[in-house]
């Protein structure tokens, strides 16, 4: 194994590899070959992980801001180490493919690969092929070049190890008499040979890791020591209807104090600041945006996502797509008056949207021929319809979220009420003789209208026709009838007709009201 610091996993795999190799040397059952296929898969996964780790180490080294000569030199050497290792790993990938290629140029796979026992030996030990000697030469060259770049006190040892270099085979004279290639490939089935090359790749990457760690100390590359741990829950949904099941994943989030990452939503940077999580302050970015969607499903839910990215100094993390759901907003008209709208009257209504507290982006729009709407405050409006049907388009942040249809009514017709000063006159009993004047006032019978339309229910009489004992019509331009001017006596009949009723409208205009129920016939008593 290589001289770098091995993880427990690497030690376990290395030991398993050596045990299987020893068993092969003893000509144990061919079932061992199937185990080599498993080991090879694990080794190749380890190779991919190590490549990523070493790339990250190089990025950390390159992130150094120092202009010291030794630091700049270390950065350049780290680049050379990475390029040297990448070339070696690529060469070994090609070699594995060559070992798995049969004489008829077919790639051996699956059972054919496991069952093949001679291909590796024919490729690597064939005196007419340079593949084997070139392999050993490449290993020697890699170690020599790596030592030349690093110039360490304790240089890297050879990779082309023979049986005598392993204590497991030190007492086996049959194996120790072989050279490197014979020990590695003589009588070695193809699957075992492929695993051997994969194992060699892990050793090459361990050498590289050790070299980069050494250079990292020179450049003081960023090492992220996670010293803050916070329990977090990632919920399947942050909105749960009563009776539903809340589900989430509990995990530990870690952060390195003293490190301020760059955070992005899409390509836009977001502010990073200390945020308290369960009493622990860590650097966090605040995500805030107006949710919007158009592709709602039949259930009224739209599946959406946005991308976030975090850059740690020298270690950019891959972008992450964050999924979320948008519920179709449904407007609720919550005023008692909203059930009855009167034409040419302003009805004040409250409009809410379940789950939405900020109603500043909420508006109502009515076709011009059907009326108009006034915004009084966030979520509060006045609707003034002018037609029998009024279609109110609800708009949220510039997008229509639905149309509320209202059937409208004419304003209620008033009935006449006769007044003398502050007193009401009973029309059935007649007007007391000697009464100087009377007022004709409109009385509203519809209490819903009277209660909910305070700015439209101020009816008043603007004119009427008076007749005394069936005589000539007398036009009066108000609702007050000056009886004292007409020398009325007990028993005279008075008739009030064609009463003109008006009212001020919500929008400041004056509207005519049907006063057909305002006609009055009574006697002077």
Counting beta carbons within 10 angstroms of the beta carbon of residue 297, is it exposed (0 to 12), middle (13 to 18) or buried (19 or more)? exposed
pLDDT at 244: 53
- Does 42 share its domain with 162? yes
Q: Are residues 65 and 167 in the same domain?
A: yes
In a shared domain, residues 172 and 64: yes
- What is the C-alpha to C-alpha distance for residues 56 and 349, in angstroms, rounded to an integer? 60
The CA distances from residue 515 to 387, 418, 440, in Å, are 21, 14, 11
Number of domains in the chain: 4
Which alpha helices (DSSP H) does 270-408 contain, by range?
A: none
Q: How far apart are CA 150 and CA 3, in angstroms?
A: 14
Q: Pick the closest to residue 59 from 319, 344, 318, 303 (CA basis).
A: 318
97-100: long-range contacts (C-beta < 8 A, 24 or more apart)? 98/123, 98/131, 99/123, 99/124, 99/190, 99/193, 99/194, 99/197, 100/190, 100/194
Same domain, 401 and 366: yes
Does 2 reside within a domain? Answer: no
Query: What pLDDT score does 2 carry?
Result: 41
Mark whether 274 and 288 lie in a shared domain: yes
Residue written as token pair 């008075």: 494
Q: Are residues 213 and 67 in the same domain?
A: yes
Same structural domain for residues 402 and 441? no
- For helices 8-25 and 190-219, the axis angle rounded to 10 degrees is 150
Together in a domain, 253 and 127: no
Evaluate the CA torsion angle 167, 184, 2, 157 in order and state its sign.
positive
Query: Domain of 307?
Result: 228-239+247-320
Structural contact between residues 333 and 349, judged by C-beta atoms closer than 8 angstroms: yes
Residues 162, 75 share a domain:
yes
Which H or E element spans position 33? helix 32-62
In contact, 374 and 381? CB cutoff 8 Å: yes
Query: With 0-12 CB in 10 A as exposed, 13-18 as middle and 19+ as buried, what is 400?
Result: exposed
Q: Report if residue 494 sits inside a domain.
A: yes
Sign of torsion over alpha carbons 68, 73, 76, 77: negative
Residue segments in the chain with a per-residue pLDDT below the cut of 70: 1-33, 221-227, 230, 232-246, 248, 251, 256-259, 313-316, 335-339
Domain boundary among 392, 409, 426: 409
Give yes or no: residues 431 and 506 share one domain: yes
510 within domain boundaries: yes
Q: Are residues 311 and 338 in the same domain?
A: no
Domain boundary among 267, 299, 320: 320
Task: Map residue 203 onto helix, strand or coil.
Answer: helix
Residue 14: CB atoms within 10 Å: 18
| pTM across the whole model | 0.47
Domain shared by 336 and 451, yes or no = no
**Contact residues for 145 (Cβ-Cβ < 8 A; gap 6+):** 84
Give the tens place of pLDDT for each residue, 202-260: 999 999 999 999 999 888 744 555 667 767 666 666 555 444 565 767 767 777 666 67
For every residue of 408-437, DSSP letters joined together read EEPPPPPEEEEEETTEEE-TTT-BPTT---
Structural domain includes residue 175: yes
């Amino acid at each position: 194994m290589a001289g770098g610091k091995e993880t427990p996993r690497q030690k376990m795999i290395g030991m398993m590899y050596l045990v299987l190799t020893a068993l092969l040397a003893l000509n144990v059952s061919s079932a061992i070959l199937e185990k080599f296929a498993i080991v090879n898969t694990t080794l190749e996964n380890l190779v991919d992980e190590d490549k990523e780790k070493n790339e990250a180490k190089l990025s950390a080294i390159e992130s150094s801001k120092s202009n010291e000569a030794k630091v700049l030199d270390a950065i350049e050497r780290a680049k050379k180490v990475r390029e040297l290792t990448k070339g070696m790993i690529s060469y070994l990938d090609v070699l594995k493919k060559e070992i798995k290629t049969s004489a008829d140029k077919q790639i051996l796979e699956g059972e054919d690969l496991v069952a093949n026992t001679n291909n590796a030996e024919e490729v690597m030990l064939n005196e007419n092929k340079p593949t084997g000697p070139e392999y050993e030469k490449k290993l020697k060259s890699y170690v020599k070049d790596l030592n030349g770049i690093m110039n360490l006190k304790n240089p890297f040892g050879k990779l082309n190890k023979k049986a005598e270099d392993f204590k497991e085979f030190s007492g086996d004279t049959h194996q120790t008499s072989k050279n490197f290639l014979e020990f590695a490939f003589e009588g070695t089935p193809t699957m075992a040979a492929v695993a051997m090359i994969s194992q060699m790749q892990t050793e090459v990457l361990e050498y590289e890791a050790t070299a980069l760690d050494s250079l990292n100390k020179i450049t003081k590359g960023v090492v992220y020591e996670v010293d803050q741990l916070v329990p977090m829950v990632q919920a399947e949904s942050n909105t749960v209807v009563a009776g539903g099941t809340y589900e989430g994943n509990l995990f530990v989030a870690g952060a390195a104090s003293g490190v301020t990452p760059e955070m992005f939503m899409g390509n836009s940077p977001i502010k990073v600041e200390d945020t308290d999580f369960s009493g622990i302050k860590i650097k966090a970015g605040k995500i805030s945006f107006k949710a919007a969607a158009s592709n709602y499903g039949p259930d009224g839910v739209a599946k959406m996502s946005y991308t976030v990215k975090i850059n740690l100094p020298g270690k950019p993390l891959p972008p992450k797509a964050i999924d979320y759901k948008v519920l179709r907003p449904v407007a609720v008209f919550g005023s008692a008056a909203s059930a009855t709208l009167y034409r040419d009257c302003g009805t004040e209504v409250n409009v809410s949207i379940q789950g939405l507290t900020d109603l500043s982006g909420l508006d109502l729009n009515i076709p011009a021929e059907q009326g108009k709407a006034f915004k009084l405050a966030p979520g509060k409006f006045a609707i003034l319809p002018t037609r029998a049907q009024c279609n109110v388009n609800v708009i949220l942040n510039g997008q229509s979220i639905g149309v509320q249809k209202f059937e409208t009514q004419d304003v209620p017709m008033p009935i006449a009420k006769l007044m003398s000063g502050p007193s009401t006159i009973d029309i059935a009993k007649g007007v007391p003789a000697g009464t100087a004047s009377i007022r004709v006032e409109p009385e509203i019978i519809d209490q819903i209208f009277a209660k909910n339309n305070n700015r439209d229910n101020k009816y008043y009489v603007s004119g009427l026709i008076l007749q005394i004992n069936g005589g000539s019509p007398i036009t009066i331009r108000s609702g007050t009838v000056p009886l004292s001017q007409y020398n009325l006596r007990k028993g005279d009949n008075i008739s009030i007709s064609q009463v003109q009723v008006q009212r001020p409208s919500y929008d400041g205009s004056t509207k005519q009201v049907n006063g057909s129920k305002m006609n009055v016939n009574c006697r002077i008593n």
